[in-house]
Structure 1
Amino acid sequence: MGIHSITYCERLFFLEEVEGILLADQRVYEGRKLHEEIQVENSDIHRIETFEYTSEKLGLTGKVDRLQKRDGEWIPYEHKKGRSKTDGKVKTAWEPDLLQVVAYAMLIEEESGREIKEARVKYHYDNALVKIPITEELKKRVQDKIIRAKTLYEQIERPPVSSNYNLCLKCSLAPVCLPEENRIIDDKDYPAIRLFPPSRDKKVIHVMGYNSFIKKQGDTIVLEKEVEHQKVKETLPMNEIESVVIHGGAQISSQLINYLAYHNIPIHWFTGGGNYVGGLNFNTNNVKRKLRQYDAFKEKKFCLYLTQKVAIAKCESQIRYMLRSSRGKNKRTIQQEESIRKVRELIPEISKAESQDSIRGYEGIIAKYYFQYIPSILIDSVPKEMFPEGRSKRPPKDRFNAALSFLYHLLFRSVQQAIIAVGLEGSLSFFHSPRTGAEPLVLDLMELFRVPLCDIPLIGSINRLSWDIKEDFLVTKEKVWLSEQGRKKAIKIYESRLNDKWKHPVTNYSMTYYSLIELEVRLLEKEWSDKKGLFAKARLR
Structure 2
Amino acid sequence: MSRHLYLDHANTQLALDGRSLTVKVPERPVAHVPLHLLERVTIVADIEVSTRLLHRLSSAGITITLLSPRSKSQATECLTPIHGNHGRRLQQYALVLDDARCLTWARLLVRWKVKAQRHQLLRFAARRGAEAGRCRRAERELALLQKQVSDADAQQLLGLEGSAARAYFGVFQRLVPASLGFSGRRKRPAPDPVNALLSLTYSMLTSECSRALQLAGLDPAYGVYHRVGYGRPSLACDLVELVRPQADHFVWRLVARQDLRAHHFTRQLGACLLKKEGRGIYFPCYEVRLAPCRRHIHRLARRLCQRWEQEG
Whether TM exceeds 0.5 here: the answer is yes
* Contact map agreement 1:210 1:248 (CA 8 A) in 2: yes
1:475 match: 267
Unaligned runs of at least 5 residues, structure 2 = none
Provide the C-alpha distance between the structure 2 equivalents of 1:231 and 1:329, rounded to a whole number of angstroms: 43
Task: Say if 2:60 is the partner of 1:263.
Answer: yes
Judge conservation of contact 2:250–2:289 (CA < 8 Å) in 1: yes
Equivalent pairs counted in the alignment come to 310
Which of 241, 244, 253 in structure 2 is aligned with 1:450? 244
- Quick check: 1:525 aligned with 2:305? yes
Q: Which amino acid aligns with 1:402?
A: A
Of 340, 343, 360, 2:139 maps to 340
From the superposition, tell whether residues 516 and 531 of structure 1 become closer, same or farther in structure 2 (CA, over 3 Å): farther
Which of 167, 182, 198 does residue 404 from structure 1 map onto? 198
Report whether the alignment pairs 1:497 with 2:297. Answer: no
1:82-132 Cα offsets, whole Å, 9 max, x none, are: xxxxxxxxxxxxxxxxxxxxxxxxxxxxxxxxxxxxxxxxxxxxxxxxxxx
- Match status 1:420 vs 2:219: no
Distance in 2 of aligned mates of 1:335 and 1:429: 34
> Per-residue deviation at 1:486?
2.1
**d(CA) in 1 for partners of 2:54, 2:287:** 23
Please say if 1:234 is aligned against 2:36: no
Residue matched to 1:5: none
Structure 2 distance, partners of 1:385, 1:331, is 18
Q: Evaluate the alpha carbon distance shift between residue 220 and residue 360 of structure 1 in structure 2; reply closer, same or farther with a 3 A threshold.
A: same
Aligned-pair Cα RMSD in Å: 2.2
Partner amino acid for 2:255?
Answer: I
Which letter maps to 1:530? Q
SS at match of 1:244: strand
Confirm or deny that 1:294 pairs with 2:87. Answer: no
* CA drift at 1:483: 1.4
Q: Deviations over 1:211-253 (max 9, x none)?
A: 2222211221111112xxx243222112111122221312323
* Residue type at the aligned position of 2:23: L
> Counterpart of 1:377 in 2: which secondary structure?
coil
Match of residue 460 from structure 1: 253
Q: Distance in 2 between matches of 1:202 and 1:463?
A: 25
Determine helix, strand or coil for the equivalent of 1:222. Answer: strand
Give yes or no for contact 1:224–1:234 (8 Å, CA) kept in 2. yes
Relative CO higher for 1 or 2, CA cutoff 8 Å, sep ≥ 6?
2
Residue 15 of structure 2 aligns to a residue in which SS?
strand
Partner in structure 1 of residue 48 of structure 2: 251
SS at match of 2:126: coil
- Looking at structure 2, the residues matched to 440 and 476 of structure 1 have their Cα atoms a distance apart, in angstroms, of 29
Deviates most, 326-335 or 301-310: 326-335
Return the alpha-carbon distance in structure 2 between the equivalents of residues 477 and 285 of structure 1. 44
Q: Which has the higher strand share?
A: 1
Q: Which has the higher helix share?
A: 2
Alpha-carbon separation, structure 2, partners of 1:473 and 1:448: 28
The answer to whether 1:377 aligns with 2:157 is: no
Counterpart of 1:430 in 2: which secondary structure? coil
- The offset of 1:386, in angstroms, is 2.5
Q: Percent identity?
A: 23
Give the superposition deviation at 1:432.
Answer: 0.5
2: distance between equivalents of 1:464 and 1:387? Answer: 16
1:485 and 2:263 correspond: no
Q: Following TM superposition, by how much is the alpha carbon of 1:364 offset from its aligned partner in structure 2, in angstroms? A: 0.4
Deviation at 1:202, TM superposition (A): 6.5
User: Aligned equivalents of 1:370 and 1:415: distance in 2?
Assistant: 23
- Decide which of 14, 25, 36 is 1:214's aligned counterpart: 14
The higher radius of gyration belongs to 1
Q: Is the 8 A contact 1:270 1:278 kept in 2?
A: no
Q: Equivalent residue for 1:538?
A: none
CA separation in 1, counterparts of 2:10 and 2:127?
46
Report deviation, 1:297.
Answer: 2.3
Distance 1:303 1:390, change over 3 A: same
Q: Does 1:358 align with 2:156?
A: yes
Q: Which moved more, 1:480-489 or 1:409-418?
A: 480-489
Distance verdict in 2 for CA 1:374–1:328, change over 3 Å? closer
Change (3 A) 1:455 1:497: same
Task: Tell me, yes or no, if structure 1 residue 313 matches structure 2 residue 116.
Answer: no
- Summarize the alignment of residues 11-90 of structure 1 with structure 2, pairs less than 5 Å apart: none
Report SS of the residue matched to 1:251: coil
Give SS of 1:327's match.
helix
Q: Which residue pairs with 2:77 in the alignment?
A: 278
Does the alignment pair 1:516 with 2:296? yes
Distance 2:179 2:131 in 1: 24
Paired with 1:295 and 1:362, the residues of 2 have a C-alpha distance of: 27
Change (3 A) 1:262 1:279: closer
5+ residue gaps, structure 1, are 1-200, 500-511, 533-541
Give the Cα–Cα distance (whole angstroms) in 2 for the partners of residues 408 and 328 of structure 1.
Answer: 24
Change (3 A) 1:333 1:325: closer
Please show how residues 427-446 of structure 1 align to structure 2 within 5 Å: 427-446=221-240
Measured in 1, the distance between the counterparts of 2:285 and 2:2 equals 18
C-alpha distance in 2 between matches for 1:520 and 1:246: 26
**Structure 1 contact 216–256 (Cα < 8 Å) conserved:** yes
Alpha carbons of structure 1 residues 332 and 210: separation in structure 2 relative to 1, 3 Å: closer
Helix, strand or coil at the partner of 1:223: strand
